[in-house]
């Protein structure tokens, strides 16, 4: 190499990867399964819902967290996801949130996480995790009974999990670092840069999901409960559960209303199903 000539190093921004530990998944696998599986929820907005009802399916879309894979996201039992959550208050109804409640077993999981994987990716849980941890260290087995096993390990039951209140007496072992992180994360009561998605079980799918005969309920603003929408939801074998959408609120402000309706649904108050 000529004197004074810079070496031609190839610069890369890619961080070295390592094989994830399976300690957390192993711990959850060894816990007791639940007697009953909870439904899955998928949150969208009215604009996307129009296309969903026309197609009769949920289609995966590009994800920037998992290397631009085509994925669908669901939460186990809770209506946790905030579609267009970062949007400012808007008087246009196409941002109004709509929740689809799907029957247990509808989705063949591609991945299962004990929390919102996007929040981990964006380091919102960094106060509770080691800097060397990667989100894959928390990935769980893709089995139908995995969410119930996680709930039985860390919560007093499905209803406690849904209400994000009522933790089991489980204390992780000295070297169970991922379990310690999750244990502290879901018990944190102070101010934080995250919400209840920190303890909501996330289920990813890489395949389209047909809604027909797989949908328990559709929760949507009452002004969208038109004759056409009611007929389309009836054709799915689902019930329609309207809520009063207050105009000019931000999309995330309706989540509490939707939680109440899902809680009533799972409690058997709407007659379709009963889980506790």
pLDDT band at residue 4 under the 50/70/90 scheme: very low
Tell me, what's the pLDDT at 10?
Answer: 44
Share of the chain above pLDDT 70, in %: 91
Tell me, what's the pLDDT at 15?
Answer: 54
Assessment of whether the complete model's pTM goes beyond 0.85: yes
pLDDT band at residue 251 under the 50/70/90 scheme: low
Residue 120: partners with Cβ closer than 8 Å, 6 or more residues away = 113, 129, 135, 138
Question: Would you say residue 12 has pLDDT above 60?
Answer: no
258 touches 99 (CB < 8 A)? yes
pLDDT band at residue 68 under the 50/70/90 scheme: confident
Question: Would you say residue 162 has pLDDT above 70?
Answer: yes
Residue 127: partners with Cβ closer than 8 Å, 6 or more residues away = 192
Question: Would you say residue 89 has pLDDT above 90?
Answer: no
Q: State the Cα–Cα distance between residues 190 and 163, nearest whole angstrom.
A: 17
Rounding to the nearest 10 degrees, give the CA dihedral for residues 224, 226, 232, 235.
120
Tell me, what's the pLDDT at 8?
Answer: 43
26 touches 150 (CB < 8 A)? no
Q: State the Cα–Cα distance between residues 151 and 133, nearest whole angstrom.
A: 22
pLDDT band at residue 253 under the 50/70/90 scheme: confident
- Mean pLDDT in the chain? 90
Tell me, what's the pLDDT at 192?
Answer: 82
Please report how many Cα atoms fall inside a 13 Å half-sphere around the Cα of residue 144, on the Cβ side: 11
Q: State the Cα–Cα distance between residues 64 and 25, nearest whole angstrom.
A: 24
Mean pLDDT of the region 63-74 = 92
**pLDDT digit string, tens, across residues 111-142:** 999 999 999 999 999 999 999 999 999 999 99
112 touches 139 (CB < 8 A)? yes
Across 2-12, b (16+ Cβ under 10 Å) vs e yields: eeeeeeeeeee
pLDDT band at residue 221 under the 50/70/90 scheme: very high
């Amino acid at each position: 190499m000529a004197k004074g000539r810079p070496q031609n190093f190839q610069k890369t921004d890619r961080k070295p990867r390592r094989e994830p530990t399976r300690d957390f998944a192993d711990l959850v696998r060894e816990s007791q399964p639940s007697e009953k599986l909870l439904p899955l929820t998928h949150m969208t907005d009215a604009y996307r819902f129009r296309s969903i009802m026309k197609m009769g399916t949920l289609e995966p879309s590009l994800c920037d967290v998992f290397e631009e894979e085509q994925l669908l996201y669901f939460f186990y039992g809770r209506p946790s996801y905030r579609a267009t959550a970062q949007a400012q208050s808007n008087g246009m109804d196409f941002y109004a949130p709509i929740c689809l409640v799907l029957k247990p077993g509808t989705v063949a999981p591609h991945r299962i996480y004990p929390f919102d994987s996007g929040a981990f990716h964006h380091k919102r849980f960094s106060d509770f995790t080691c800097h060397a941890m990667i989100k894959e260290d928390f990935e769980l087995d893709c089995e139908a009974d995995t969410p119930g096993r996680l709930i039985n390990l860390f919560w007093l039951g499905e209803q406690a999990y849904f209400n994000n209140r009522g933790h089991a007496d489980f204390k992780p072992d000295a070297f169970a670092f991922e379990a310690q992180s999750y244990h502290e994360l879901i018990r944190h009561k102070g101010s934080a840069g995250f919400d209840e998605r920190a303890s909501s079980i996330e289920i990813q799918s890489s395949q389209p999901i047909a809604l027909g005969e797989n949908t328990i309920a559709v929760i949507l603003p009452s002004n969208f409960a038109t004759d056409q929408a009611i007929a389309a939801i009836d054709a799915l074998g689902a019930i329609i559960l309207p809520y009063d959408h207050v105009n000019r609120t931000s999309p995330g402000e309706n989540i509490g209303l939707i939680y109440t309706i899902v809680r009533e649904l799972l409690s058997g108050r709407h007659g379709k199903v009963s889980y506790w």
